[in-house]
Amino acid sequence: MRIQSWGFLFTVALWGAMGATPAPAAEKFPISLNAVAMTDVPPLGHADRYLPQEAVVHVVLRLGERRVYVYRGDEVQASYPVAIGTAATPTPTGTFEVFQMIEDPVWQNPWTGQVTAPGPNSALGVRWIGFNNLPNGIIGFHGTPTVNSIGKAASNGCVRMFNHDVVALFDQIEMGTTVTVVH
């Protein structure tokens, strides 16, 4: 069989079932790659239109479950138990974006002004992830030394986590990650 394209002549032999002799059809039916005009093929456009998109990471905090979930697209990647705000100082619901991420945050007591050095025994633990800026302060995820509060409504609105869990959450998200807080 002969295939002609781009001004070159290629010869292709089609072998029979035993591989010993050229198939008779190969000699009788030359195939031209120009048989299909390129104008019949629609343009593809930008390649990224066809490439798979990386699923976006987002966080859902379910207050009733006292649990935060990390999603990649529609798939749960991880979940962690949390403490949430009390009835008097509830964790606000809505959709927010992470705008602060701090390793080893320094905590200043809002009532006394006392500054606590960073570390696992600080009120903020070893990570801080701010996602809601209110007139009376910032709401965020943080570690805590008060581990017996996890699973309860015990905070002033922030979301307390075990230090190892807030480190894991911190490593899975980035600035601008969507945080949805639902009942």
Q: Is 142 a residue of the active site? A: yes
Q: Is 183 a residue of the active site? A: no
Q: Tokens representing 47?
A: 């390649």
Is the per-residue pLDDT at 85 higher than 70? yes
What's the mean pLDDT in 113-137?
A: 94
Share of the chain above pLDDT 90, in %: 65
> What's the pLDDT score for residue 47?
72
Is the per-residue pLDDT at 26 higher than 80? no
- Catalytic residue (one of 46, 58, 158, 164): 158
pLDDT digits (tens, 9 = 90+) for 49-81: 777 778 899 999 999 999 999 999 999 999 999
Strand 159-161 and strand 137-143: pairing? parallel
Name residues whose C-beta falls within 8 Å of residue 2's C-beta, 6 or more positions apart in sequence: 9, 10, 11, 12, 30, 31
Any idea which architecture 57-182 has in CATH? Beta Barrel (2.40)
Tell me the residue type at 23: A
Tell me the residue type at 48: D
Residues forming a β-bridge with 153: 84
What's the mean pLDDT in 165-171?
A: 98
- Catalytic residue (one of 58, 142, 164, 183): 142
Residue 109 CB-density burial (10 A; 0-12 exposed, 13-18 middle, 19+ buried): exposed
Longest dimension (CA), the chain: 96
* CATH 2.40.440.10 residue spans of the chain: 57-182
Find the range with the poorest average confidence among 36-40, 113-117, 169-173.
Answer: 36-40
Global pTM reads: 0.72
Is the per-residue pLDDT at 158 higher than 60? yes
> What's the pLDDT score for residue 50?
73
**Neighbour count for residue 151 (Cβ, 10 Å):** 15
As a whole number of angstroms, the distance between CA 162 and CA 147 comes to 6
